[in-house]
């Protein structure tokens, strides 16, 4: 892996684990066993690191969104796609946690971040609308809009990663979030979908253990 990419990856891991406020560029350089000067050769400080990580995240979400039409054809595809989508959000969830501090000084980046949050909402609404159109679920328009809000909050929430142990398991957290979303939508399923959903849950037995016990 190129040094530049290694720096980005290590920064993301350290920002996620300790909070970006607590991590200095010198500590990132130390963790990578490179000199601070080498890091500065690639990135002009922490702000640039944050900006580049944000662009990386934004590009990944946009790329994923562009696959939506191909990837999601049948009922089952929603949950697989949802899993990838939520996993990507959770990977960069420190942005949601720390956005007040990160974006208040960079209005341009803040606007792009807000647009991304709007895109999440549009995606979840789109998902609910098409599930409704194909009679998989039965939900009023007001319910769809409110549910899309709620799903957006759950998907971007970082309480899961924050309460988790230091070396948290991103995949397990993502699965728990997706299961939580499915359980929210479940009462609106048609009886036919309920069977398929049951099948889906049996195939992917996610432990529905409580975060808080």
In whole angstroms, the minimum distance from the beta carbon of 167 to its own copies comes to 15
Q: Which is nearer to its own copies, 57 or 180 (CB)?
A: 180
Tell me if 97 sits within 8 A of 59, measured CB to CB. no
Q: Which is nearer to its own copies, 6 or 138 (CB)?
A: 138
Q: Which is nearer to its own copies, 65 or 154 (CB)?
A: 154
Q: Which is nearer to its own copies, 28 or 139 (CB)?
A: 139
In whole angstroms, the minimum distance from the beta carbon of 116 to its own copies comes to 11
In whole angstroms, the minimum distance from the beta carbon of 35 to its own copies comes to 27
In whole angstroms, the minimum distance from the beta carbon of 95 to its own copies comes to 11
In whole angstroms, the minimum distance from the beta carbon of 41 to its own copies comes to 28
- Footprint on this chain of its own copies (rule: CB under 8 A): 18-19, 21-22, 96-97, 99-101, 104, 114, 117-118, 120-121, 142-143, 145-150, 152-154, 156-157, 159-160, 162-163, 179-180, 183-184, 187-188, 208, 210-213
Q: Which is nearer to its own copies, 133 or 212 (CB)?
A: 212
CB atoms within 10 A of CB 77: 13
SS3 per residue for the chain = CCHHHHHHHHHHHHHHHHCHHHCCHHHHHHHHCCCHHHHHHHCCCHHHHHHHHHHHHHHHHHHHHHCHHHHCCCHHHHHHHHHHHHHHHHHCCHHHHCHHHHHCCCHHHHHHHHHHHHHHHHHHHHHHHHHHHCCCECCCHHHHHHHHHHHHHHHHCCHHHHHCCCCCCHHHHHHHHHHHHHHHHHHHECHHHHHHHHHHHHHCCCCCCCCCC
């Amino acid at each position: 892996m190129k040094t530049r990419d290694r720096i980005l990856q290590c920064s993301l891991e350290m920002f996620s684990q300790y909070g970006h406020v607590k991590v200095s560029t010198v500590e990132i350089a130390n963790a990578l066993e490179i000199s601070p000067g080498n890091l500065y050769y690639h990135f002009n400080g922490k702000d640039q690191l944050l900006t580049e990580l944000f662009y990386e995240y934004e590009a990944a979400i946009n790329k994923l969104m562009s696959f939506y039409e191909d990837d999601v054809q049948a009922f089952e595809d929603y949950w697989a796609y949802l899993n990838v989508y939520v996993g990507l959000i959770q990977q960069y969830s420190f942005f949601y946690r720390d956005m007040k501090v990160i974006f208040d000084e960079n209005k341009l980046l803040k606007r792009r971040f807000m647009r991304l949050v709007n895109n999440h909402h549009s995606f979840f609404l789109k998902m609910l609308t098409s599930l409704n159109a194909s009679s998989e679920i039965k939900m009023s328009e007001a319910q769809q809009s409110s549910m899309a809000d709620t799903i957006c909050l759950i998907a971007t929430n970082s309480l899961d990663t924050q309460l988790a142990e230091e070396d948290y398991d991103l995949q397990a957290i993502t699965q728990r979030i997706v299961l939580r979303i499915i359980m929210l939508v479940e009462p609106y399923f048609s009886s036919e979908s309920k069977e398929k959903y049951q099948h889906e849950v049996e195939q992917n037995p996610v432990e529905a253990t409580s975060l808080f016990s």
